[in-house]
Structure 1
Amino acid sequence: MNFALLMRVIQVALSFVYVGTLLTQFFNPMPPINIAAFQVYMAVALVFAFTREKEDAKFVWISRTVTLACVLISLAIAVLYQYEIPRLERRLEMIDPVFPIDIFMHVAGVILILEAVRRSVGMSLVVVVGVFIAYGYFGFLAPGWMSFPGFTLSTQAEMITMQTSGIFGVTASAAVNFVFFFVLFGAVFSATGGGPLFIDLAMRATSRLAGGAAKMSLVGSALFGVVSGSAIANTTSTGVLTIPIMHRSGYSKEQAAATEAIASTGGQLMPPVMGIAAFVMADLLGIPYLTIAAAGLIPALAFYFALIVIVDLRARKSGVGNISAEALDIPPILPRLHLLLAPIAMIATLVMGYSAPFAALTGTILSLVVPFLRKSTWYPLREIYYMVIDTAKQMGYISAPLAAVGIVMVIATQSNLALKFVSMLTDIGGSNLYLSLVLVIFGCIIMGMGLPTVAAYIIGSLVFVPALTGMGVDLLAANLFVLYYCVLSMVTPPVALCTFAAAGIAGSNVNKTGILAFKYALVIFLVPFAFVNDPHLLWQGAAWQIGIAAVGLVLATFNWAVFLEAWLKHRLNIVERLAFLVVSLSLVVAPTLSLTWVAGIAGSAVLFAWCFMLKPQPSAKRQGA
């Protein structure tokens, strides 16, 4: 048997065992540490099975032997844990001895996790985790406030790989109880025709609008974000269709790639999936997942509204980006609309109060069955085989980084590093909330460079959220604030992963694309400040309070977009731009219905009247400038 065939057999076997076991977890749950150990090391084995390293002809046998050994050792550790867990559950933490088998499983397990992370998401997260592990051993060498006595190898083994913390903690729990079911739904829904339907709906809805080519990208990515937990997957799935269309409509390659990058980035904030981080947030905060999804709805819609305004203003100013429905050759949509029953049922089930896994499983079953309601949407049953493989592969690439972040979490908390950092941030920011928020933004963006969003969010929630809540920020608002800026790091140079993916599809200059994507993202930087100041935007309070707060946010983002674009029916001068900036900020920083907020509403009305009715119209030559 050749190596490629052997690895294919391993991929298939591991995928079906993994997916089958996690599905049975819904009906017959295993004890937490048992399923966590299975989840982590099976996921690691899947990464090795699916990731082929570049092979030098002289050393190909070494590379293949290492890959196969990593798969087998990962599986061996997963099996060993099932035998050792009864003892681990009985032992007294930090009192009973740590045996050599525990040290072996710890050292080998951590090395395998780090290598799986390197193969799945690159070196950035490996370096971060490596620094924390070294800090755990040599904390006594750290300068100043970071110094602490350090942990022994046995202590680190107990914290990281022998308890329901570390790699078996909240990240493994979220992967088993939430992430898996939504990844499964996304894989099945996309494979049975739902993904293409979302893109075609976006094309049909926006093709005749000003800047329709770019708006198609925004709407398509928002819809795809409903079922996708990855900004990169969103970019590659929708971008292959939308980027060429935007380029044909007059956008440069850089503009098309930047638009798709920021549109796909927002998909990580779109309920109900919200880029996997929402599931971890629900576990961390101990609140129902529906509460997280509801809280994310208005900010996510404001995110896309802000982008649509920017695109619209730019299109009306330049005349670029228009495209007709006839030029797109969109397949008939009506015969496929029944495919939407699956996501609609999933969302409805969530709203009715059922658990997130039940809702995702309901959507998955309907995604498998509904296409057979019409012959035109039938799919061959062999596609189920590929759905299982795709689900297992995605979960491997998600779960390995999550396990690595579990190491960071336990070292940061047990060494008191997180608490010390909170104290330092409080000292620097003093009692100035906005200065502290700006410091948190820089921290989130720096951490998000090269890290998966969920990893950056978890680390950010450890070190930043306690400081914000200590200043009176609502706990949920503080977590979403951190999440927003970790997400925006995907399009913030110098390391902007979504931008790299979009630039690769467009064949554009990466640096120019990154700068443009960051400029587009500036219109969204306002949104998190709004819900920090007014938790009504997170679906908290009476309906009329939520509605009024939402109106204020819509006006604030519109004014902010006009300020950035310097155009509203006509080009704006510096005084007009500053006026739009002032009214926008007044609607964000002031409490809803306060005198300053009301002044912002009135100021918006005055500025709109000026631009649309009172301002002298420029000559045709100047208007086209």
Structure 2
Amino acid sequence: MTKTQDNQGRPEAEPDLSLIEQETAKAHVDEDPLASNQRDFIGTRNFTIATMCVAYSVFHLLVMNVYPLETWAYRLSHVGGGLFLGFLLFGAVSLSEDAEGENRNPMSLALLGLAAAGIGYALIAVAAIWINGTLMGVALPPAWAMSSFGIPLAAGSALAILHGWLYPQRDRRAFSAGDVLLAAAALVATAYLIFFARQLQLRAGMPMALPGDMWAAITGVILIIELTRRLAGMALVIIASIFVAYSFLGPWLPGIFEHRGYDAKRFFSYIFTDNGILGAPIAISSTYIILFVIFAAFLQTTRVGEYFVNLAFAAAGHKRGGPAKVAIFASGLMGMINGTSAGNVVATGSLTIPMMKKVGYKPQTAASVEAAASTGGQIMPPIMGAGAFIMAEITGIPYMEIVSAAIIPAALYFLSVYFMIDLAAQKANLKGLPREQLPKLGVLIRQIYLLTPIIVLIFALFAGYSVIRCGTLAMITAAVVSWLTPHRMGPKQLFHALDIGARMVLQLVAVCATAGIIVGVIALTGIGSRFSTVLLALADQSQILALFFAMVVSIVLGMGMPTTAAYAVAASVIAPGVVNLGVEPLVAHLFIFYFAVMSAITPPVALASYAGAALSGSDPVKTSVESFKIGLAAFVVPYMFFFSPAMLLQGNWFEIAHIAVTAVVGVYLLSCAVQGWFVGRAGAAVRVALAAGGLSMIAGGWFTDAIGLGIGILLYALQKRLITPETIAHGAD
């Protein structure tokens, strides 16, 4: 669908529209995260790719709700379909800035010809295998097909990738020949693995796997890594490549890194099983992630999602620093659903960042607020950006137990971000937007029924329905509710929602598959258990030291990869060691998950902050430092629930209320220390004392809480005496 079609039925912004409505219209026209891809193709090509995207979405919805498919075939179809669409939609990005564009020189034509010959031969061979086995009922496929298709397929795929690196197509109005070949290779490898290799127990990585199984798996791995490079950058690719190399170099490595090593057939036939690529990350990606991404696409297409933003602006836009406070609600809510920090920054930040700049926030601060709020969405129940589902899959802890436990920590994080924003607004004497430029709260209250999709989702989850059923009901509700608005969902809007849902999920498919490669290597080589043993030795039975190491590993892993993949890898490497030290599994995994998520705003590599900086025009490094400061509570809250399990609703109501109230006071004091504002401007000594008071309330004991509260009261009295009327006036609303 083109951008014009995306705005079908919506009148252009008139002068009498509210400022928010005008900015919303601009956001839909200017900075849609999918716009670059939707403009790539025109006419028949565009309709063709959109139809294939819709088919991908519909396939998943039908399998999840109507016609279940065998797990092996379903997950492979999910990965293979994602690779097929990904290569057609996202053109090759050269490794070198000086690479020539696609042309017709002899080298380019030679690479394409060889790639086409190899992949074409493999296509004919796999077709012969399928025809013999399915149409003719022949038990044994042709010997020539089984023995000779693998090397041409892998070699052809490698040559097509090399062609994309050397001769990337600059004009994306047509499909690149190399990308079409890669899409075909993805279909060939996937078809072979679905229709034949499973009969040979490839999923168990057995020695009886044939050479053809190995070559199909090798092709799948290199295609996954290449698509990840195109969609998520080099960091995750480098990490995955190191793990793959480690599988073969084990006998020559020292210390805990040594292992017996594996031959290619054993390794690749193991990796392409539910122990690796088809394991937990892809299990979640093929169910919960794609379901809720399509749900987010429904909210976007029907404009029901805009209602959340407009309601927040109407309620808080006029307050001190109002647009920033709106960003907390809007970005947190949408980030919870769509499951990607950087993607949500682009989607909601295209509206909130310009509005923050209009009331006086520096571009850097506006981007930082958006990054912190969008990242926080992934720790917000009930969806938690698919994190809760992955955690339930890995640990066996019931989903609802994880969601319930995460309520107070998530509330503390968003309260802390609110405190940071409000204190910064006081410090800079920022005002809100004029009421006449905001949506009318009374009108929006009468449209409160637009919140029905979220209400249905939450009610159904807590009523005990399956997560898939809940997401589907919420999706249907969004469509039905849209019939009460000018943006009624009809066939065209439904087509568009299913189209963009598939486009938005492709990056997550690629990174989850790559995370599966890493997890598979960890399981195959046993490095996870050995690393945990070293962790236990270094921690010397100290749980707090082990948790500190877990924090560092989670942040480092998450700096270069999406949080879903970062958590999956960190949970495999470090969680067993922490649990073996006696830390409750729920506490250990939530702890690791929090820091994997917050790596998106942790310098020096902070993907969410970089996305915000690109929208606001600010310096990426400075933006990442400020977003780290705004989200500082998330680096403290995990230690709070380690010391005080009542924060995870483990205890009686009095213990839970006590830890919740004192934690709020603690994060407020920390926020004041970071912003340098407490009643009025706070000097260095006051800020140090505020930080000490806030940190003393981490443990949750009565004595430490009394110390923190006493420091807060003493400093309040001191500041009230020292702050001049002029300073107080400067900070007034």
Provide TM-score, normalisation by structure 2. 0.79
Q: In the alignment, is the contact (CA less than 8 A) between 2:251 and 2:259 conserved in 1?
A: yes
Q: Is the 8 A contact 1:254 1:513 kept in 2?
A: yes
Q: How does 1:56-455 map to 2 (within 5 A)?
A: 56-58=101-103, 63=164, 64-84=176-196, 86-89=198-201, 93=204, 96-161=207-272, 163-328=273-438, 332-372=443-483, 374-455=484-565
- 8 Å contact from structure 1 (residues 213, 321) kept in 2: no
Q: Give the partner amino acid of 2:199.
A: R
Structure 1: which amino acid aligns with 2:659? A
2:139 corresponds to 1:31: no
CA distance in 1, matches of 2:371, 2:221: 33
Structure 1's 195 and 432: CA in aligned 2 closer, same or farther, altered over 3 A? same
Q: How far apart are the structure 2 equivalents of 1:351 and 1:547? A: 22
1:595 equivalent in alignment to 2:703: yes
Cα displacement string for residues 579-599 of structure 1 (whole angstroms, at most 9, x for unaligned residues): 3223322221x2x45433344
| Kept in 1: contact 2:314–2:439 (CA 8 A) | no
Distance apart, 1:282 and its partner CA: 1.4
Q: CA deviation at 1:182?
A: 1.3
The separation in 2 between residues aligned to 1:366 and 1:322, in whole angstroms, is: 34
2:196 partner SS: helix
1:545 deviates by: 2.8
CA contact (8 A) 1:234 1:267 kept: no
Residue 60 of structure 2 aligns with which residue?
22
Aligned to 1:507: 617
**Matches of 1:181 and 1:543, distance apart in 2:** 35
Greater Cα offset, 14-23 or 188-197: 14-23
Question: 1:203·1:330 contact (CA, 8 Å) conserved in 2?
Answer: no
Change (3 A) 1:3 1:191: closer
Deviation per residue, 1:557-577 (Å, 9 max, x gap): 111112222321122344433
Give deviations 1:338-383, integer Å, cap 9, x for gaps.
22101110110001111111110110111111121x2534244301
Q: 1:151, 1:443 → 2: CA distance?
A: 26
Letter in structure 2 aligned against 1:620: E
In structure 2, the gaps of 5 or more residues are: 1-39, 94-99, 113-163, 165-175
Cα displacement (A) at 1:428: 2.4
How much has 1:202 moved relative to structure 2? 1.7
> Is it true that 1:41 corresponds to 2:71 in the alignment?
no
What per-residue deviation string (whole Å, max 9, x for no partner) do you get for residues 130-187 of structure 1? 11110001112223221111111111123111x3221111122112232222112111
Given residue 131 of structure 1, which amino acid in structure 2 is its aligned partner? I
SS at the partner of 2:338?
Answer: coil
- CA offset at residue 13 of structure 1? 4.2
- Give CA deviations for 1:83-142 in whole Å, capped at 9, x if unaligned: 1255134x7956552212201211111111111111111111111111111000111222
Q: Please say if residues 15 and 392 of structure 1, whose CA atoms lie closer than 8 Å, have aligned partners that are also in contact.
A: yes
Distance in 2 between the 1:393 and 1:515 partners?
31
Q: Structure 1 residues 378, 9: CA separation in 2 closer, same or farther (over 3 Å shift)? A: closer
- Which deviates more, 64-73 or 434-443? 434-443
What is the alpha-carbon distance in structure 1 between the residues aligned to residue 57 and residue 338 of structure 2?
Answer: 18
Give the partner amino acid of 1:141.
Answer: W
Q: 1:8 aligns with which of 25, 46, 49?
A: 46
Q: Amino acid of the residue matched to residue 176 of structure 1?
A: S
Q: Report the equivalent of 1:620.
A: 726
Match of 1:535 among 640, 645, 648: 645
- Aligned mates of 1:48, 1:168 — CA distance in 2: 20
Deviation string for 1:58-100 (max 9, x for gaps)? 25985522100111121222222231255134x7956552212
In structure 1, what is the equivalent of residue 127 of structure 2?
none
User: Are the aligned partners of 1:336 and 1:377 in contact in 2 as well (CA < 8 Å)?
Assistant: no
User: 1:252 and 1:95 mapped to 2: Cα distance?
Assistant: 59
Please give the alpha-carbon distance, in whole angstroms, between the structure 2 residues aligned to 1:267 and 1:94. 38
**TM-superposed deviation, 1:618:** 2.4
* Separation in 2, partners of 1:92, 1:310: 50
| C-alpha distance in structure 2 between counterparts of 1:205 and 1:622, whole Å | 26
* CA displacement 1:477-533 (0-9 Å, x = unmatched): 211111111121111222111111111111122222222222222243211111111
Deviates further, 517-526 or 102-111: 517-526
Measure how far apart 1:52 and its partner are: 2.5
CA RMSD across the alignment: 2.5
Amino acid at match of 1:381: P
Is contact 2:249-2:261 (8 Å) kept? Answer: yes
Write out aligned runs for 1:454-465 (5 A). Answer: 454-465=564-575
Deviation at 1:619, TM superposition (A): 5.2
Range that drifts further, 397-406 or 24-33: 24-33
Flag structure 1 segments of 5+ consecutive residues without an equivalent.
none
Deviation for aligned residue 1:25: 1.8
CA distance in 2, matches of 1:94, 1:117: 24
Query: How far does residue 544 in structure 1 lie from its aligned partner after superposition?
Result: 3.3
Q: Tell me the matched-pair count.
A: 617
Match of 2:74, as an amino acid? I
Give the deviation of 1:621 after TM superposition. 6.2
Task: Give the number of the structure whose alpha-carbon radius of gyration is greater.
Answer: 2
Rounded to whole Å, the distance in 2 between the matches of 1:387 and 1:48 is 21
Shift of 1:192: 1.0
Q: Which amino acid aligns with 1:292?
A: I
Tell me if the contact between 1:570 and 1:623 (Cα under 8 Å) persists in the aligned partners.
no
Q: CA deviation at 1:236?
A: 1.1
- d(CA) in 2 for partners of 1:384 and 1:478? 41
**Residue 284 of structure 1: how far off its partner (Å):** 0.5
Q: Distance in 1 between matches of 2:183 and 2:643?
A: 49
Residue 601 of structure 1 deviates from its aligned partner by 4.3
- Tell me the distance in 2 between the aligned counterparts of 1:493 and 1:617: 35
> Which residue is 1:50 aligned to?
89
The separation in 1 between residues aligned to 2:565 and 2:575, in whole angstroms, is: 15
**Cα drift, residue 609 of structure 1:** 5.3
Q: In the aligned structure 2, how far is the partner of 1:46 from the partner of 1:541?
A: 49
Structure 1 position 572 matched with structure 2 position 678: no
In the alignment, the residues of structure 1 paired with residue 466 and residue 650 of structure 2 have an alpha-carbon distance, to the nearest angstrom, of: 20
Residue 600 to residue 622, structure 1, CA distance change in 2 (3 Å)? closer
Whole-Å Cα distance in 1 between the matches of residues 279 and 438 of structure 2? Answer: 48
Partners of 1:202 and 1:577 in 2: CA distance: 32
- For structure 1, which segment, 478-487 or 302-311, has the greater mean C-alpha deviation from structure 2 after superposition? 478-487
Name the SS of the counterpart of 2:589 in structure 1: helix
Structure 2 CA distance for partners of 1:585 and 1:621, relative to 1, 3 Å: closer
Counterparts of 1:168 and 1:375 in 2: how far apart (Å)? 41
Query: Equivalent residue of 2:605, what SS?
Result: coil
Distance 1:335 1:586 in 2: 46
Residue aligning to 1:470: 580
> How many Å apart are 1:453 and its aligned residue?
0.8
CA contact (8 A) 1:571 1:623 kept: no
Using the TM superposition, name which of 416-425 and 22-31 deviates more.
22-31
